[in-house]
Amino acid sequence: MAVHGNTLGEVIENDLDAALASEVKTGLVQTPKRLSSRFFYDAEGSRIFQEIMHCPEYYLTRSEYEILETYKADLLNLFAPDQRAFDLVELGAGDGLKTKILLGFFAGQQADFAYAPVDISADALDGLVVDVRKQWPDLQLKPQHDDYFNSLRQLSTESDARRVVLFLGSNIGNFAPDEAVDFYSQLHDRLLPGDIVLTGFDLQKNPAVIHAAYNDRGGLTRDFNLNLLRRINHDLDATFDLDAFDHYETYNPETGEARSYLVSQKPQTVDIKTLDMTVPFEDGEIIHTEISRKFTRVQIAQLAQRTGFSVTGWFTDSKGYFADVVFVR
């Protein structure tokens, strides 16, 4: 990993490029074809996601914003009942819009904490760092450009500070059920007794409300999904015709899974020049790109129990759409 003449940031960037190449190489020869949603977040993808968070159908952000605003004092009491120092590690921080509610309140209460945002998007992370430095110049800031699993390995248990891990925004919804169990098990291994994980879970509700959130009339979710093809064109010198694919969304209320697909609008072939690959598509053929899982209260309690955590706080918005849940190691 010690590559001379490269900054750490560039090395990680190259790892992520290599990861996209291997995802395309394996995902587009499978049946059905698939590409992981973790590759949505280049600069343009992060920008479109910020627009989604403001769109009328995407209730998740507003629900969680309400929860954090309403319960920020209760959360601080859970994180630092004894005024002890804590490290606030945020996985998938993005633009940190919601977290800033907590940062502002905690700073105002003179809480003794450092903020360590982690994100796979360098652009989102850079923006967040500039912003936080400007608003709270005295706040200790330890940004990390990485994916969730790598960042877990970096979770330091060297200092006496309690670790509080934030995993907000229903990012957990992108995991398959066994991946979620694996993720919390790994967190359990890395943390010490008394450490905390605060997770934002989108709850199962009227299926029409959920379906609309991923099929907005303004077409933002469509642009977000199609941006993955634009990114592959750009990063891997490919020839996807963005007008020849469309966005398709399903929500299955029996499984709690919203699924996003890209659908080929005609028989066509796409060249991926960097990988020396030609990919054929039939008319109507799909690429599966994302799962956004919705949870029941029972599933959340079981997830905690199976991975060795106790649930010590449970906060929901006034509509009961979303829950921010406190797990203690």
Residue nearer to ligand AVJ on the CB measure, 60 or 272: 60
Give me the least distance between CB of 143 and ligand AVJ, in Å please: 19
221 near ligand AVJ, judged by CB under 6 A: yes
143 near ligand AVJ, judged by CB under 6 A: no
Alpha helices in the chain (DSSP H): 8-27, 43-54, 59-79, 99-108, 122-135, 148-154, 177-190, 207-213, 220-236, 297-306
Binds ligand AVJ (CB under 6 A): choice among 121, 174, 199, 204 = 174
Residue nearer to ligand AVJ on the CB measure, 86 or 221: 221
Residue nearer to ligand AVJ on the CB measure, 127 or 169: 169
Report d(CA 161, CA 221) in Å as an integer: 40
Residue nearer to ligand AVJ on the CB measure, 98 or 190: 98
99 near ligand AVJ, judged by CB under 6 A: no
Q: By rule CB under 6 A, what string of x and - marks binding of each residue 56-75 to ligand AVJ?
A: ----x---------------
Binds ligand AVJ (CB under 6 A): choice among 33, 169, 300, 316 = 169
Residue nearer to ligand AVJ on the CB measure, 221 or 264: 221
Joined together, the tokens standing for residue 125 give 């992370």
Please report, as a single letter, which amino acid is at residue 44.
E
Core vs surface per residue 82-120: b (16+ CB within 10 A) or e: eeeebbbbbbbbbbbbbbbbbbebbeeeebebebbbbbb
Which of 105-113, 151-159, 164-172, 295-303 is the region at the interface with ligand AVJ (rule: CB under 6 A)?
164-172
Q: 38: part of which helix (H) or strand (E)? A: none
3-class DSSP state of 281: strand
316 near ligand AVJ, judged by CB under 6 A: no
**For the chain, how many helices (H) and strands (E)?**
10, 14
Which of 74-82, 156-164, 167-175, 190-198 is the region at the interface with ligand AVJ (rule: CB under 6 A)?
167-175
